[in-house]
Chain A
Amino acid sequence: MNLLFALLCGTLFGVGLAMSGMTDPAKVIGFLDLFGDWDPTLGFVMAGALMISLPFFQLGLGKFKAPMFADVFRIPDRTDIDPQLVTGAALFGTGWGLVGLCPGPVISSLSYLNKDVLFFGVAMIAGMFIADLVSQKLANKGALSPQS
């Protein structure tokens, strides 16, 4: 049952990404182009999503003891601001601004059968594995706080 719900949620999320314009890199760049011909659409996407997620996480989630089809809620519990978080976000933002693609829209856009999106996806996954190796090395050295 949890598998069916995972598929349904992914599908709904994918419909939302395509409908909202997030899978159109030109629209994403339009949003990031604050000092040009700014397109606020992505602000509406985030506002729409937060209108649901914010009240849920603040008020609704506490009413559930456990998920319907799993044993526990898996929610990140770290609160420290470490250099790794900020460095990662800065690198992500730079790559995002270069072509206007972030992970969700990359996956959804695979349905468009565009080879450039596919190349981006392969490079993105390679980048994830490199980061995984680097953060393990850093954790072993004790240079940064361990991953939760």
Chain B
Amino acid sequence: MESYLYGLGGGLMIGLATVVLMISVGRIAGISGILFSSIKAPSGNLWAILFVLGLVLGAALFHAISGAPTPAFSAPIDLIIAAGLLVGFGVKFGSGCTSGHSICGIGRLSVRSIIATATFMTFGFITVFLRLHLL
């Protein structure tokens, strides 16, 4: 139950950050796009670099202030590289990730984003099903 409330609270903050970024800088808070432009064309996208730095800082701040333990993560290196390549290729090829399509795009009632979200959720469900219950 507490985890659901933290989820809802975190979601509200994510939504607020999305809205404030649009009102102030005029940009969609689509993280894959922001990350890509901050690396490909850093000089014209200082705002994107600062947004990316903020993401790191924000998570550090949350754990420093709340005292919540940082989540553990480890996986075989070949799995990490394969998954990383798939995620990076997929979000760039498909014009967005969970933030750009599922929060901004669905908020805009964009048909492209609704279809993208339905597609990656479905493939996420299928992959986890295959990996945990069949293979």
Please list the residues of chain A having a beta carbon within 8 angstroms of any beta carbon in chain B. Answer: 1-3, 5-27, 29, 32-36, 39-54, 56-58, 60-61, 64, 66-76, 78-81, 84-99, 101-104, 106-112, 114, 116-117, 119-132, 134-135
Contacts and interface: CB of A to CB of B under 8 A. Distances in A.
A116 B94 contact: no
Given A19-B9, A44-B8, A81-B115, 6 more contacts: A14-B57, A23-B71, A92-B94, A94-B126, A120-B80, A128-B89
Q: What 5 A-B pairs have minimum CB-CB distances, sorted nearest first?
A: A14-B58, A10-B54, A88-B94, A48-B11, A127-B88
Contacts, number: 481
Interface of B: 3-29, 31-32, 35-36, 39-40, 46-48, 50-63, 66, 68, 70-75, 77, 79-95, 97-99, 101-112, 115-117, 119-129, 131-133
Contacts of A86: 94, 115-116, 119
**Chain B contact residues: over half helix, strand or loop, or mixed?**
helix
**Chain A contact residues: over half helix, strand or loop, or mixed?**
helix
